[in-house]
Copies of this chain bind each other. A is one copy, B any other.
Amino acid sequence: MEPVLLQYHYFSRFEKMRNIQVIIAYCGTAYNGWQIQPNGLGIQEVLQKGISSITGEKTHLTASGRTDAGVHALGQSAHFFTDSSIPIDRFPVAINSKLPPDIRVLKAFEQPLDFHSRYSARQKTYIYKIRQNKIADPFLYDQVYQLPYIVDWDLVNQLSKVFIGKYDFKAFMASGSAVKTTIREIKAIELSQYDNITEISFTGNGFLYNMVRILVGTLLEGAYRRTTNADMKSILNSKERSQAGPTAPAHGLYLKSVDY
């Protein structure tokens, strides 16, 4: 409990200091990703300005993790500290009134001061949306990865089983990323279908940079070439990015939820 006491001590001079967790949905199309960018607008920046304008304070918003340009969120989680006495239930409506319509705060929760949207996270779920159609739907061009050829979803489902478990996912990390360890645990990969859209969901304790998009690209390529689970296993074991498939486009990816 050391860190808790330390944090409490640090903030103890602010009597009313509150830690507010917000659950956020956004369409990533118009933004240069989550993080504040020198070129282009970051979602974090837009939210911080919105929060500041209702609390009257300078705000720093910490998310569970960054999302890349074009990537969406159905349930990004972030937290900020405030001295404001705004009732917790009022935060979503108040902040939303200051935001563009492609970013919405869905819920707000009062959390202990030691809650951290990134370090306290236990697992995350991403979904990847794919639609197969001859002529792409112009209303989904930035929200679903649309493919002109037929995908064997049963084969995708079968191949995906290879990646469930605790493995070194180095082959599925964008080359050049700096991390301490490339070992991650994927707890579940599930396919579901509605309105001609197939969603592949990935739940894990953490994901390497571009990991979900490279897994999706590898599974689609694998199904297209009619490869086997053994081939998938070889890619995993190679630990080489060059052995895996292409990185699927950003616009099919959604951060669905973060569990604590």
Contacts and interface: CB of A to CB of B under 8 A. Distances in A.
A139 B72 contact: yes
Interface stretch (A47-55, A56-64, A99-107): A99-107
The count of identical subunits is 2
Contact of A104 (B72, B101, B106, B136): B136
Interface residues of A, number: 20
Contact of A139 (B105, B135, B136, B143): B143
A92 to B, nearest CB: 7
A26 B138 CA distance: 6
A25 B133 CA distance: 15
Contacts of A135: 92, 96, 104-106
Candidate in A26, A92, A101 with the most chain B CB atoms within 10 angstroms: A101
9 nearest CB pairs, A to B: A101-B141, A104-B138, A102-B138, A27-B138, A27-B139, A25-B138, A104-B135, A26-B138, A102-B141
Interface of A: 25-27, 72, 92, 96, 101-106, 135-139, 141-143
